[in-house]
Amino acid sequence: MASKISLIFIPLLVLLAIGYSLAKKNNAYSSFIKGVEEGLPLFKELFPSIIAMLLCVTLLKSCGLIDDIKSVMMKWIPQSETIIDLTPMILFRPISGSASIACFDAICKTLGPDSFTAKIAATIQGSTDTTIYILALYFGSVGVTKWKHALKTGLLTDVVGIVIGIVLAVIFLR
Amino acid sequence: MNKIWIGIILLCIVYGLVTGRFEAMTSGILALPEEGLGLVCTLVFSACFWSGIMTIMYDSGLINKLAKLLNPFLRKIMPNLNDDEAYKYVAMNIAANIFGLGFAATPAGLKAIKRMKELSKEEDKSTATNEMVTFLVLNTAGVTILPTTVMAIRQSYGSVNPADFLILSFVGTLASCIFGLVLDRYYQRKALRKNGK
């Protein structure tokens, strides 16, 4: 049910964009071309940090550290597999968007994009953001050094987002 | 970031060498550039596409309309801001965030916080104002309704239905935003009480 409703989101959105543009007598085609072009410089911006973070993620996986932690943990708590698979992504999430996306990519690659873990991961990605990075970027840009309660509020909110993401996915996508 | 990056790499390589996983590490490192290219392509192409859709909505005035709809809500959560320019930038930032377009959201967001700093009534200008904190809490809670990058990655690995979590992540976003705003208000009140004493 949840996934059925989700399905109509994207076609509807594209329809809304084009329909509204038509109603306002705008040139939708040239707007689209312009917008796509504006996204291209992102390649140069993203590539270095993705490669850097992928190095961390690849090593974490291939050196066996995560597998070893996993097998030790699973002896004690057999249900913890999913949580351990998600842990690197969750830990990276507040610091670096590139790193947590690289982790998400690794989850999709090893467990499959439709695995239960990947679905939880997707829900978490949608309901959290790179808290520490955002705060540092925005406050840094205007020279604000005293953040008041921004950091603890942001991080607690992320924790809540993660818990909600897991709970929702467990209930509806299992 | 530098320390974390170096720390993880050193830890992994030493651990891998001690436990004798030379082969896995070597092939992992050698496969990395191509894998990175694939991932970046997925991300950038998807961002380009959604940027195109968003530009259609922007040029036709739909985003502005959305920003106007958000306006009363923003006035409610940031009542002391009282500045049309700042509200406009905040609304544009959130509208772009809704579509998961972080790179389009950031310029508007930076303008918003710059304007907030100009309006700052704090004695010490290096202290965050309450409005700044509220705005950033909203940003860090991830107001994303359409996590386009996540869907693109799932699609690239052949997912049957890459959008099946949308409604869940929408509910999750909504809940974490509300939680963030409530918590923010709580800390504001607490600080106020402390200063009052």
pTM metric for this prediction: 0.86
Picking from B59, B106, B163, the nearest residue to A26 by CB comes out as B59
Q: Does B32 touch chain A (CB under 8 A)?
A: yes
Interface-testing mutation among B130, B164, B195, with chain A (most A C-beta atoms within 10 A): B164
pLDDT tens sequence across B78-106: 888 878 888 888 888 888 787 766 667 88
Tens-digit pLDDT profile for residues A144-162: 888 889 999 999 999 998 8
CA A85 vs CA A56, A62, B7, B31: distances in Å? 15, 14, 20, 21
Inform me whether the pLDDT recorded for A167 exceeds 70: yes
The CA distance from B131 to the nearest CA of chain A, in Å, is: 11
CB A82 within 8 Å of CB A60 = no
- The tokens for A33 are 């071309």
**Whole-number mean pLDDT of chain B?**
86
Among the partner-chain residues A47, A138, A147, the one whose CB lies closest to the CB of B110 is A138
CA–CA distance, B73 with B151 (Å, rounded to integer): 29
Residues A154 and B129 sit within 8 Å (Cβ to Cβ): no
pLDDT score recorded for residue A2: 61
Length of chain B as a residue count: 197
Angle between helix axes B166-196 and A150-172 (nearest 10 degrees) is: 150
A32 and B113 within 8 Å at the Cβ level: the answer is: no
Average pLDDT value for residue range A15-32: 92
Q: pLDDT of A36-79, one tens digit each?
A: 998 888 888 889 988 998 999 889 888 888 888 888 888 888 77
Q: Residues of A numbered 57-116 whose beta carbons fall under 8 angstroms of chain B's beta carbons: which are they?
A: 58-65, 68, 95-97, 101-102, 104-105, 108-109, 112-114
Residue ranges in chain B whose pLDDT is less than 70: 1, 100-103, 196-197
pLDDT tens digit string along B18-31? 888 888 899 989 99
CA A45 to each of CA A39, A40, B1, B100: distance values in angstroms, whole numbers, following the listed order: 11, 9, 17, 17
Which residues are bridge partners to A146 per DSSP? B127
- Rounded Cα distance, A164 and B173, in Å: 9
Q: Which residue's structure tokens are 């997707």?
A: A122
- How would residue A21 be classed by pLDDT, with cut points 50, 70 and 90? very high
Strand partners, B127: A146
